[in-house]
Structure 1
Amino acid sequence: MTLANPRADRVKQVRALAGRSARSRHGQFLVEGPQSVREAVRHAASSVRDVYLTPAAAARYTEIVDDARAAGLYLHVGAPEVLESMSPDAQGVLAVVRSSAPSLAEALAARAPERAGRPLLVAVLATVRDPGNAGTVIRAADAAGADLVVLAGESVDVHNPKVVRSTAGSLFHLPVVTGLPLDAALTELRDTGCQVLAADGTGPLDLDELLDDAGSGTTPDLAGPTAWVFGNEAWGLPKADRDLADAVVRVPIRGRAESLNLATAATVCLYASSRAQR
């Protein structure tokens, strides 16, 4: 049966998950768009409660339908106006997913098998408020082969719809830990053997120098287990946060740009470590 009433209670309940209070109350969040829903169904099926598609989307994205049915998920077909009412960003495909909140210890224990032979690589966001930046860093960490991401301090809610969309499905590929103060997160990561490197434009160490000196013993070794700390979009890392790190590293700027934005700097740093760790 096709869902046809955009004012139905079910539609209102799904739409409400765009708000943090409803997400917290129900322990669920929205996943919007074919790419993110595809990855949720493939990699986190046990957490997916419902999948919604328009008839046109069901015909176009048959792999989502097939994977959802194979996983025994609740699959619903809704009129275009129903999906539009649930979320204007759904692109005809939407899922409701149960929230999970792994501890840092659990996330470390759940390390992906393909990373087991390499040093640990972690991205730590310190009071990052912009959902697009947070989601893009999660996506970059996934692409660079990082083991997990930590959103520390008063960072944005990882289940904010814009964060989820910005990860393009990477949210379902690696653990994301939230709710820890920065100092507690770094203490726990350091206890695993990680060096802590803060990325900041004022850093006395140049990222290129670290790559050139890898293994020399004179600078932090990017080939070793590393937790990178990235600061807020507007004010970067305060001195108190920089002081928690073993070293503060700047990304070299060779052109006339005044600075790099958070997500770009994080991508450069994570890929530098990823290459060194290979």
Structure 2
Amino acid sequence: MSMDRIITITSAQNDKVKAMASLLEKKHRDRSGKFIIEGIHLIHEAIEAGAQLESVVYDMERGVPDELRGSLAQANGRFEIIETTRAIIAKCTGTDSPPPVFGIVRKLEADPASLYRANGLVVVLDGVRDPGNVGTIIRSADAAFADAVVLGKGCVDLYNPKTVRSTMGSLFHVPVVEGDLSELLPAAKARGMRLVGTSLQASANCYAHDWRGPTWLLMGSESDGLSEAALAQLDDHVIIPMKGRSESLNVAMAATVLLYEALRQRDFQTTIIPDPPTK
């Protein structure tokens, strides 16, 4: 669709508006297979990744964002372009300060083979409920070049708008699989993956662990850690050493520390700088 064929909607009672606003609820996202992305950056990432965008909706008072003008002009019918009021955008995004643009995207399909690549690195989340934490972990997994992220039952919905915003577009870069850990963990072990998790009782620190082989890194809920069922599946327990007085790290920060240690071991040689000679 070229920019001269823009759909204008000004009524909050419009059926299309009601359908888009319903995606704020998980049951409607599940039923329709669609979700909301908000803001210029996420729209750009979706277009670049070739995601199945259905609609891009912008604030008619602000106009088309300059950063997206070229991409929208070349849409060629791949998705519809809608101009509407700020009040309708607020209704569809559930935010007090509505973004200048949002989009409707079909849910992503992750290739299950991404979980079992040779020497693969997969992050597995067990009951992580905070959307900001899940989004940040997906960003860190993307940055550390992990092969995939698994969301077990009890985790926040990947397509919760807060989760999507927190990924900052990384959900379009790294495969994210939602599944039952009671089935996935034994299957991973059977295929040679080593399951590693954190534990305050672990004797090995995370820097002494060898992260170079095929690894599934398990991270538990913010309040309870890994479930008993997940703990029973672990091959290795590691601890993140702390020299200060803090008792623990936020789950997203802990996952990032471990992912970057894996990245360091896999991709970077450690250079030891000798002490200067004594006089």
In the TM superposition, residue 75 of structure 1 has moved relative to its aligned partner by: 1.8
CA shift, 1:222, in A, is 1.1
Match of 1:236 in 2: 225
Does the C-alpha gap of structure 1 residues 95 and 240 become closer, same or farther in structure 2, counting only changes over 3 Å? same
> What residue identity is the alignment partner of 1:143?
A
- How far apart in 2 are the matches of 1:160 and 1:223? 33
1:24 equivalenced with 2:30 (yes/no): yes
For 1:149 and 1:274, the matched residues in 2 are separated by: 15
Amino acid at match of 2:245: R
- 1:95 matched to which residue of 2? 103
After superposition, give the CA deviation of every residue in 1:158-202 in whole Å (9 maximum; x if it has no partner). 11111111111111111110022x232222323443211112333
For the residue of structure 2 that corresponds to 1:228, the secondary structure is strand
Q: Summarize the Cα distance change of 1:13–1:234 in structure 2 as closer, same or farther, 3 Å threshold.
A: same
Aligned equivalent of 2:112: 104
Asked if the contact 1:183–1:244 (Cα under 8 Å) also holds between the matched residues in 2, the reply is: no
Indicate how the Cα distance of structure 1 residues 192 and 70 shifts in structure 2: closer, same or farther if over 3 A, else same. Answer: farther
Cα distance change on mapping 1:71 and 1:185 into 2, 3 Å? farther
How far, CA to CA, are the matches of 2:193 and 2:27 in structure 1? 35
What's the counterpart of residue 153 of structure 1?
A: 153
SS of residue in 1 equivalent to 2:226: coil
Matched residues, percent identical? Answer: 35
Residues 136/70 of structure 1: CA separation in 2 closer, same or farther (3 Å cut)? farther
Structure 1 residue 157: Cα displacement? 1.2
Q: Distance in 1 between matches of 2:121 and 2:64?
A: 38
Contact persistence 2:211–2:265 (CA under 8 A)? yes
| Cα 1:67/1:186, change in 2 over 3 Å | farther
In the alignment, which residue of structure 2 is the partner of 1:131? Answer: 131
Q: Distance in 2 between matches of 1:164 and 1:174?
A: 13
SS at match of 1:209: coil
Q: Which runs of 5+ in 1 are unaligned?
A: 112-117, 211-220
Q: Distance in 2 between matches of 1:134 and 1:13?
A: 26
Q: CA deviation at 1:96?
A: 0.8
**Structure 2: 5+ residue stretches without partners:** 1-6, 268-279
The alignment yields a C-alpha RMSD, in angstroms, of: 2.2
State the distance in 2 between where 1:249 and 1:274 align: 16
The AA in structure 1 aligned to 2:204 is: L
Establish whether residue 48 from structure 1 lines up as the match of residue 53 from structure 2.
Answer: yes
- 8 A Cα contact 1:135 1:163, kept in partner: yes
Distance 1:227 1:68 in 2: 41
> 1:246 aligned to 2:235?
yes
One of 10, 21, 33 as aligned partner of 2:16: 10
SS in structure 1 of the partner of residue 57 of structure 2: strand
Name which of 227, 238, 262 aligns with 2:251: 262
Q: Count matched residues.
A: 258
